[in-house]
Chain A
């Protein structure tokens, strides 16, 4: 009996001790006695003064302030506060609470109160961080290329799909088990069931997924010895415009190291139904280098960039800085496949800058494009910036989202309220993805980096994100299907040049140069 009592007492003692320990560990930090700091806290990533989508995944961050304890209150109003406390500056926001907060705060600001404790100074409350939750959601999924800075050969590159409402990520394509380079994925108006991308070298070809079928197309014809590159689906889903480029890579001794120019390029029109390539002197002129096709949402016009064709005696050292592209629009009649007259929207002669990558907002109001000192590979030029052209007024604005490093490879959300683009602002070499909200009046707000579960991962990530494309639904095809299509010779078809096509002679630019494949 005595023993039994002893035993019971020990059990009770243990339970009480454990309970006290749990209470002690889960106790709230007392921040009531804190002093205020006049400056905002340093956060990584910089998630302050931004407009965020109401459906974005939790935006975890790190407080870059010296401290031993940290408390973060996130709220829209006093009725629902997410309080996070930690001894680590790494702030992980619970998904459910975050979603709930965003859901209740649509169209309103949300606040981040950040408290940092140091033994010397006690608790310090930093200036409040204010962000706003937009009314318009962002597309659910983002597809991007994930690779090392690609020079000549890659060990592995992938195309990935990210669920923006969570951190879930899946592989769409990888070169780990097939040799080659994969690039230029594109979707028809954000519809993932109709997509394409290219494979260079190895199992080379264009993979086209459409109407639940996947096939591989060899896009080279008697007209174009180079395969198709930059692409844009016509809204009718049958046609796609492509550029065919003869690309030359070179390097600089100072400033931006790597550079690429086109020695020649044209646009071609591919018909998926009859597997033919058609050309027209208006988009594939021997006197111009045309590239970066982009259809208007109604399919009645094609926007692209063009520069005068280089002369056969083109001297790289002397002439590369003179290559500047205009932004051009040309009317198109899809049934008869006939083209109108090209019209220059932005003239390089006037801006002294070179245009590239035109992307029209799905509502047809704006055209987002890049301008750079010269050439057509903005992502290699620090001078590359994003510009917004109002298609209604013709007004062009240089966006405030730009940095002193390259910005480019941008695209729109399907509701035209969000843009995503790549930027090298963080480190100068490895591109990251940034989002910005575009409001009704065309104001583009401060950008923020793609939220990831462990934001510090960006600081040791030696790979680039590239060609971000927003899509509404997940891609309905599995990576394995793409790999099978790439390797199955029976699925490969060679595109034919449309009958009665007249091919005009092209200048032969110094064939002794090393012409690289698409970077």
Chain B
């Protein structure tokens, strides 16, 4: 194999393409990421922790690949700001192209301007479409490309120098990028084997590639065999990105092999004639197809809803759910929280999907392990500090520590008067970049509890604080709500959740009893009235006292509902379409057609 310099004439002729097309291409990618994917949702999904603290850094230095994780956390925390997040992701796509160009320039100059070099950027775009995708993998892969480039720059040097460079770079990339050392080593092996025909170096590199993880495991780090060889290359437990990353990782070695075997010689001719436009069109089509296929609208909706919930943008949340209905349980859960916070729960909740039943209010036990922080949010709303603390610590134990944990723990500790923990949380938050201001705003309340009223969040928690003990019933959280209400009948959220629980579980007698004892003199919201009518209908009950709760409109509508049913011979299935059209947003429709038990069984 001989090397030839790139043809200057061809380089000149394509200089405009070289500048214009990438600029347009990556600008489009930037806006696609910004507007369509929205990096803020990746942040919502990952909440990467990062402290400007030596001890935090030390945690990442104790194992191979740790520095990539550290750098990833540093950068991906800025996903919080969509513009910066989109810029970071686009920079990664661009870096991939530039590195591929630089590498292929050394290997196969005819590929220097090839559109084939955009393929890794497309694959990376697919990965960024997956909100769980951590930047760690991308950074580690880019590091392996940098190492390959550094190695190829020494291609004219004697074998001993190349060997030294290989050893050094292998060790460095193994420490910073863990198993991505294998990609670097593979590229070096292919280069020496196919391009240089240096069998001695090839076989030494191969041996070293196998020996290095083993040596690292034996002498330096605590690793299993599997993790010594495959850490960061294998997907982690909560993120399974299918084949895309492996296509990305193997793309360059494949190009090496094809170039080494001389199979890419026709590419230049193909792309530089009239086919160039066709090739560009193909690339654009491929990018669009990749974007379309990889985009997950359901996940986007879930994360968007969760994002709105986290930021307390309840009206936006409800609007989004109206626009993008989802049958996901987290969406149902956050929708119910939003309904409460906007005061629309007792009058509009059945306008939204309630087929999850009570699970949509509290999340079922099997889902709580995944959504611990959201469960903590719910209990915080309810003023249930111990449970809010329990679930935030559950999240802290199960997943990576996050600034949100610290915020929640800080608030709980301030309310509980635990200044030691409050200080700890605020100290840690003051070492973050994004939450430093928040920590400073809340710090005075640690030592000045009399000022709690100044902060809405704190005064809210203080007002609802539960101080009489009972044992939490994890399996039936609605029972805990009953106990909370027994302690503080002014806990409006607990009351509404209790009423809704009665409706969703069809325990209307309990609903009536609760209304009689607590809200007898008030005007009843729409859904409560609907439930009362159903109760009276089912029990053939006397109107009596309860009748004053019902508006004439509700009675008339219920009569109409029953007449429609009767018109269809009391066959609910027959009447469903008509009922849905007129009364699909009522409790009556829910009680006739929704079956949470079946839904739960299906979800399991």
Q: Are B222 and A461 in contact (CB under 8 A)?
A: no
**A253 in complex: contacting residue of B62, B399, B471, CB < 8 Å:** B471
Q: Is A177 an interface residue (CB 8 A)?
A: yes
Known A250-B472, A460-B428; contact A177-B222, beta-carbon cutoff 8 A: yes
Nearest to B396 among chain A residues (CB) is A148
Query: With contacts A155-B399, A257-B387, A462-B405 known, what are 6 further pairs, Cβ within 8 A?
Result: A151-B397, A152-B394, A320-B471, A427-B421, A460-B424, A460-B427
> Which of chain A's residues have a CB closer than 8 A to the CB of B390?
151, 251, 257-258
In the complex, which of the residues A152, A253, A257 has the most CB atoms of chain B within 10 Å of its own CB atom?
A253
Q: Is A46 an interface residue (CB 8 A)?
A: no
Q: Mark the stretch among A282-290, A330-338, A479-487 that contacts chain B.
A: A479-487
A253-312 with Cβ < 8 A to chain B? 253-255, 257-258
B166-185 with Cβ < 8 A to chain A? none
Q: Are B420 and A426 in contact (CB under 8 A)?
A: yes
A155 to B227, CA, bound (A): 16
Q: Is A154 an interface residue (CB 8 A)?
A: yes
Shortest Cβ-Cβ A-B pairs, 5 listed: A427-B420, A427-B421, A251-B472, A460-B428, A254-B469
Nearest to B400 among chain A residues (CB) is A155
> Which of chain B's residues have a CB closer than 8 A to the CB of A161?
none
Q: Is B551 an interface residue (CB 8 A)?
A: no
A460 to B432, CA, bound (A): 11
Q: Is B550 an interface residue (CB 8 A)?
A: no
Q: Mark the stretch among B24-32, B47-55, B248-256 that contacts chain A.
A: B47-55
**A254 in complex: contacting residue of B54, B386, B401, CB < 8 Å:** B386
Known A460-B51, A460-B55, A479-B222; contact A253-B396, beta-carbon cutoff 8 A: no
A250 to B396, CA, bound (A): 18
**B397 in complex: contacting residue of A153, A174, A255, CB < 8 Å:** A153
> Could you list some 14 contacts between A and B, CB below 8 A?
A148-B393, A148-B397, A177-B224, A253-B472, A427-B420, A429-B393, A459-B427, A459-B428, A460-B55, A460-B424, A460-B431, A461-B55, A487-B224, A514-B475
> Which of chain B's residues have a CB closer than 8 A to the CB of A425?
420
Q: Are A460 and B53 in contact (CB under 8 A)?
A: yes
> Which of chain A's residues have a CB closer than 8 A to the CB of B475?
514
Please report the total number of B residues contacting A with Cβ < 8 Å: 52
A152 to B366, CA, bound (A): 12
**B63 in complex: contacting residue of A176, A250, A428, CB < 8 Å:** A176
A487 to B475, CA, bound (A): 35
A152 to B468, CA, bound (A): 26
Q: Is B223 an interface residue (CB 8 A)?
A: yes
Known A257-B389, A460-B428; contact A153-B398, beta-carbon cutoff 8 A: yes
**A152 in complex: contacting residue of B386, B398, B480, CB < 8 Å:** B398
A454 to B423, CA, bound (A): 17
Q: Are A483 and B474 in contact (CB under 8 A)?
A: no
B467-497 with Cβ < 8 A to chain A? 467-472, 474-475, 480, 483-484
Measured CB to CB, the closest approach of chain A to B435, in angstroms, equals 13
Q: Are A462 and B384 in contact (CB under 8 A)?
A: no
Q: Is A2 an interface residue (CB 8 A)?
A: no
Measured CB to CB, the closest approach of chain B to A31, in angstroms, equals 30
> Which of chain A's residues have a CB closer than 8 A to the CB of B401?
148, 462
Q: Is B575 an interface residue (CB 8 A)?
A: no
Q: Are A252 and B224 in contact (CB under 8 A)?
A: no
Q: Are B428 and A462 in contact (CB under 8 A)?
A: yes
Q: Are A427 and B483 in contact (CB under 8 A)?
A: no
Known A253-B468, A254-B468, A257-B386; contact A149-B222, beta-carbon cutoff 8 A: no
A69 to B467, CA, bound (A): 46
Q: Is A491 an interface residue (CB 8 A)?
A: no
Measured CB to CB, the closest approach of chain A to B306, in angstroms, equals 21
A171 to B470, CA, bound (A): 40
Q: Are A177 and B227 in contact (CB under 8 A)?
A: yes
Measured CB to CB, the closest approach of chain B to A456, in angstroms, equals 8
Known A427-B420, A454-B55; contact A151-B386, beta-carbon cutoff 8 A: no
> Which of chain B's residues have a CB closer than 8 A to the CB of A428?
413, 418, 420-421
Q: Is A86 an interface residue (CB 8 A)?
A: no
Q: Is B218 an interface residue (CB 8 A)?
A: yes
A430 to B428, CA, bound (A): 14
Measured CB to CB, the closest approach of chain A to B221, in angstroms, equals 9
> Which of chain A's residues have a CB closer than 8 A to the CB of B386?
251-255, 257
Q: Are A151 and B428 in contact (CB under 8 A)?
A: no
> Which of chain B's residues have a CB closer than 8 A to the CB of A480?
217-218, 222-223
Nearest to B226 among chain A residues (CB) is A177
Q: Are A151 and B469 in contact (CB under 8 A)?
A: no
Q: Are B471 and A251 in contact (CB under 8 A)?
A: yes
A151 to B390, CA, bound (A): 9
Q: Are B469 and A174 in contact (CB under 8 A)?
A: no
A222 to B218, CA, bound (A): 38
> Which of chain B's residues have a CB closer than 8 A to the CB of A479?
222
Q: Are B398 and A174 in contact (CB under 8 A)?
A: no
A255 to B466, CA, bound (A): 9
Q: Are A429 and B421 in contact (CB under 8 A)?
A: yes
Q: Are B431 and A317 in contact (CB under 8 A)?
A: no
> Which of chain B's residues have a CB closer than 8 A to the CB of A487?
224
Measured CB to CB, the closest approach of chain A to B49, in angstroms, equals 10
Q: Is B562 an interface residue (CB 8 A)?
A: no
Nearest to B393 among chain A residues (CB) is A149
Known A171-B222, A178-B224; contact A152-B369, beta-carbon cutoff 8 A: yes
Known A151-B397, A152-B369; contact A254-B467, beta-carbon cutoff 8 A: yes
**A151 in complex: contacting residue of B54, B394, B405, B427, CB < 8 Å:** B394
B258-307 with Cβ < 8 A to chain A? none
A298 to B71, CA, bound (A): 55
Known A151-B393, A462-B428; contact A253-B421, beta-carbon cutoff 8 A: no
Q: Is A37 an interface residue (CB 8 A)?
A: no
A317 to B472, CA, bound (A): 10
Nearest to A150 among chain B residues (CB) is B397
**A255 in complex: contacting residue of B409, B428, B469, CB < 8 Å:** B469
Measured CB to CB, the closest approach of chain A to B408, in angstroms, equals 12
A177 to B237, CA, bound (A): 12
Known A427-B421, A460-B55; contact A317-B471, beta-carbon cutoff 8 A: yes
In the complex, which of the residues A155, A178, A460, A461 has the most CB atoms of chain B within 10 Å of its own CB atom?
A460
Nearest to B63 among chain A residues (CB) is A176
Q: Are B51 and A454 in contact (CB under 8 A)?
A: no
A2-52 with Cβ < 8 A to chain B? none
> Which of chain A's residues have a CB closer than 8 A to the CB of B398?
151-155
A145-178 with Cβ < 8 A to chain B? 148-155, 171, 174, 176-178
A440 to B15, CA, bound (A): 87
Scan A407-430; emit 1 where CB is below 8 A from any B CB, else 0: 000000000000000000111111
Known A176-B63, A253-B480, A460-B424; contact A514-B466, beta-carbon cutoff 8 A: no
Measured CB to CB, the closest approach of chain A to B519, in angstroms, equals 24
A425 to B420, CA, bound (A): 8
B422-436 with Cβ < 8 A to chain A? 423-424, 427-428, 431
> Which of chain A's residues have a CB closer than 8 A to the CB of B384?
253
Q: Are A251 and B387 in contact (CB under 8 A)?
A: yes
Measured CB to CB, the closest approach of chain A to B110, in angstroms, equals 44
A252 to B471, CA, bound (A): 5
Scan A437-479; emit 1 where CB is below 8 A from any B CB, else 0: 0000000000000000010010111100000000000000001
Nearest to A512 among chain B residues (CB) is B475
> Which of chain A's residues have a CB closer than 8 A to the CB of B469?
252-255
Measured CB to CB, the closest approach of chain B to A350, in angstroms, equals 26
Scan B367-399; emit 1 where CB is below 8 A from any A CB, else 0: 001000000000000001011011001101111
Nearest to A148 among chain B residues (CB) is B397
A314 to B201, CA, bound (A): 72
Q: Are A514 and B393 in contact (CB under 8 A)?
A: no
Nearest to A429 among chain B residues (CB) is B421
> Which of chain A's residues have a CB closer than 8 A to the CB of B387?
251, 253, 257
Measured CB to CB, the closest approach of chain B to A165, in angstroms, equals 21
Q: Are A149 and B396 in contact (CB under 8 A)?
A: yes
> Which of chain B's residues have a CB closer than 8 A to the CB of A426?
420
B131-186 with Cβ < 8 A to chain A? none
